[in-house]
Amino acid sequence: MEKSRHIRRLALSFMIFLIIPAGPGETRVVFQPDTKREFLFKIQRTRDADEVYFDILLDDRGDLKLPEPIVTYWVRHTSQGEIEPLRWAERRFAYGIKYLEKRPDFVSFYFVSNRNMAFHVRKDPEKQFRLYAILDDMETRVTDIIIFFQMRFYGFPNIEKVEIYGINPETGAKVITILYP
């Protein structure tokens, strides 16, 4: 009985984090007019049409802009394509990233929701910054990530699987890796 009440209280407090807008000091600037940015990848979700975009910020020389080389934001297709920053709870528990290494030509990070898989951003042979990860024991250029959800109690999503789409940089072959929680 006590455990059930604790779970309900925890679920309610987490849901409140998701519906309360970011407080003072929590709003991240999504677009900086004086900064060059390039699309890196996006996370699609089966839950709805909204997507989380990840862009890289570049300086005047075309190097990654430090100290924050990657910016994340929502594209709310369910709200006429509105663009808005991730909320605090979304950055802290789901789609946020933690940097492992940052240099003007290389960034390594992991998602706060999965510390077991590192991703890195570097230039490809065409001198374009791309996202890479080790998938099935080989380096893969990541192009898309799709999260498959099933809703459970209290509106909490249950992640059934995550599909990571990419390209083998050596052969050009398409690669799909499926991760199960």
* Residue whose structure tokens are 């394509």: 81
| Separation between Cα atoms, residue 7 and residue 58, nearest integer Å | 44
| Res. 7 pLDDT band, cuts 50 70 90 | very low
The share of the chain scoring above pLDDT 70, in percent, equals 80
Q: How many helices (H) and strands (E) does the chain have?
A: 2, 11
pLDDT tens sequence across 154-179: 767 788 999 999 999 999 999 999 99
Which phi-psi region, left, alpha or beta, contains residue 62 (left: φ > 0; alpha: ψ -120 to 50)? left
Could you say which DSSP state residue 35 is in? S
Mean pLDDT for all residues in the chain: 83
- Look at 30 and 63; give whichever has higher pLDDT: 63
At 136, give phi and psi (nearest 5°): 50, 45
- Look at 156 and 80; give whichever has higher pLDDT: 80
Query: What burial class does residue 144 get, using C-beta atoms within 10 Å of its C-beta: 0-12 exposed, 13-18 middle, 19+ buried?
Result: middle
CA distances 133 to 72, 104, 114, 146, 179, Å, are 18, 19, 13, 15, 13
pTM to 2 decimal places: 0.78
Which phi-psi region, left, alpha or beta, contains residue 154 (left: φ > 0; alpha: ψ -120 to 50)? left
**Does residue 153 surpass a pLDDT of 60?**
yes
What pLDDT score was predicted for residue 86? 92
| Separation between Cα atoms, residue 147 and residue 43, nearest integer Å | 7
pLDDT tens sequence across 24-58: 334 444 555 567 899 999 999 988 899 999 999 99
Question: How many domains would you assign to the chain?
Answer: 1
Domain holding 68, by residue range, is: 2-179
